[in-house]
């Protein structure tokens, strides 16, 4: 496996790979890899001669109050997990390489960036869109693989790719979960034993939301109340948002129509750890 740290080297390698007939699948990550990341690498490896995994903890998508300085890192372990999953190249630039002195360009996606994470983390999706665009310029992938775990992020990236006409096909892959349903996340390492047990309530709440819809409920209030009842039993959970929204636009409605695809979205804080999760569901007829 090759480790590349500069944009120029990455671009040269991408050109060489393409000239040699290989397509490139790319998996952008912030490292501290787990099986969710590995599942994206495996999916990319099924379809591409070369998988490039980027590992870059992107300061631009963290607010000053966020967890940038304590974000977990273990590059040696990441190399082993990435290679075992089928990664051929790790692109791991430094902050100075990605944001050279005087950096002054931001990609700001409107619409789907605004609610939920966008409202709670101002500037977050500007940071995401800008870094993903820069990664695409460096890696020149044919296709890129993202996790449904960060559902709103996938919509933001798809919007940007369409609007800028970037020649990259975006895939959204299913969320990998622990045995009790908790979505795998690099941030789960922050949780104490007690908090870790409490965190399983996120999955239970989303599952209750889905079963409420499957029983025929179409009213947003009733769906959200059912999920809220699960979370409210857990002491120490603070809800940032808990919602049902149109899966394509993230617009919210009082009542959803039969056949409409919706996403159940939540963000909570348990102690000092902020966790997000979601599930997709179709409103019944
Ligand atoms: P991160 O390192 O948290 O920025 O995540 C990098 C990529 O992995 C993003 O596309 C995430 O959505 C995806 N990802 C994170 N957690 C999971 C998971 N549990 N299952 C599937 N994909 C995930």
Hey, which residues does 261 pair with through a beta bridge?
A: 282
pLDDT tens, position by position, 129-151: 999 999 999 999 999 999 999 99
**How far apart are the CA of 149 and the centre of ligand 1, in A?**
6
pLDDT tens, position by position, 195-211: 999 999 999 999 999 99
Over the chain, what is the mean pLDDT? Answer: 98
Q: Provide the pLDDT for residue 9.
A: 98
Q: Provide the pLDDT for residue 166.
A: 98
**How far apart are the CA of 76 and the centre of ligand 1, in A?**
19
**How far apart are the CA of 42 and the centre of ligand 1, in A?**
13
For the chain, the maximum distance between any two Cα atoms, rounded to a whole number of angstroms, is 58
Percent of the chain whose pLDDT exceeds 90: 99
Confidence category of residue 96, pLDDT binned at 50, 70, 90: very high
Confidence category of residue 285, pLDDT binned at 50, 70, 90: confident
284 within 8 A of 214, measured Cβ to Cβ: yes
- The reported pTM is 0.98
Q: Provide the pLDDT for residue 58.
A: 98
**b/e sequence 228-246, b meaning 16+ C-beta within 10 Å:** bebbeebeebeebbbbbbe
Catalytic residue among 34, 37, 47, 171: 37
Q: Provide the pLDDT for residue 13.
A: 98
Mutate to test the pocket of ligand 1, among 57, 75, 136, 150 (most ligand atoms within 8 A of CB): 150
pLDDT tens, position by position, 166-181: 999 999 999 999 999 9
Label each residue of the chain as H, E or C. Answer: CEEECCHHHHHHHHHHHHHCCCCEEEEEECCCCCHHHHHHHHHHHHHCCEEEEEECCCHHHCCCCCCCCCCCCCHHHHHHHHHHHCCCEEECCCHHHHCCCCCCCCCCCCHHHCCCHHHHCCCHHHHHHHHHHHHHHHHCCCEEEEEHHHHHHHHHHHHHHHHHCCCCEEEEECCCECCCCCECCHHHHHCCHHHHHHCHHHHHHHHHHHHHHHCCCCEHHHHHHHHHHHHCCCCCEEEEEEEEEECCCCCCCCECCCCCEEEEEEEEEECCEEEEEEEEEECCC
37 part of the active site: yes
Which candidate, 185, 57, 29, 61, places its Cα nearest to that of 128? 61
Task: Return d(Cα 187, Cα 63) in angstroms, integer.
Answer: 16
pLDDT tens, position by position, 208-245: 999 999 999 999 999 999 999 999 999 989 999 999 99
């Amino acid at each position: 496996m090759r480790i590349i740290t500069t944009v120029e080297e990455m671009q040269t390698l991408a050109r060489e790979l393409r000239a040699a007939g290989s397509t490139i699948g790319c998996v952008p990550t912030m490292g501290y890899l787990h099986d969710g990341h590995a599942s994206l690498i495996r999916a990319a490896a099924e379809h591409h001669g070369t998988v490039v995994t980027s590992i870059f903890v992107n300061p631009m998508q963290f607010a000053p109050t966020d967890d940038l300085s304590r974000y977990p890192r273990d590059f040696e372990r990441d190399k082993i997990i990435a290679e075992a999953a089928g990664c051929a190249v790790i692109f791991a630039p430094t902050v100075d390489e990605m944001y050279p002195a005087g950096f002054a360009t931001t990609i700001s996606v409107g619409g789907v960036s605004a609610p939920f994470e966008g409202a709670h983390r101002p500037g977050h999706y500007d940071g995401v869109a800008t870094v993903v665009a820069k990664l695409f310029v460096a890696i020149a992938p044919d296709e890129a693989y993202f996790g449904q775990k960060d559902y709103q992020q996938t919509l933001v990236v798809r919007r940007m790719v369409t609007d800028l006409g970037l020649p990259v096909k975006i895939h959204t892959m299913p969320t990998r979960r622990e045995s009790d349903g908790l979505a795998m996340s690099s941030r789960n390492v922050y949780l104490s034993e007690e908090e870790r047990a409490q965190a399983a309530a996120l999955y239970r709440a989303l599952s209750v939301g889905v079963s409420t819809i499957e029983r025929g409920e179409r009213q947003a209030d009733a769906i959200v109340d059912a999920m809220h009842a699960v979370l409210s039993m857990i002491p120490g959970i603070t809800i940032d948002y808990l919602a049902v929204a149109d899966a394509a636009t993230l617009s919210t409605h009082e009542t959803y129509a039969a056949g409409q695809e919706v996403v159940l979205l939540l963000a909570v804080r348990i102690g000092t750890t902020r966790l997000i999760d979601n599930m997709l569901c179709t409103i019944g007829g």
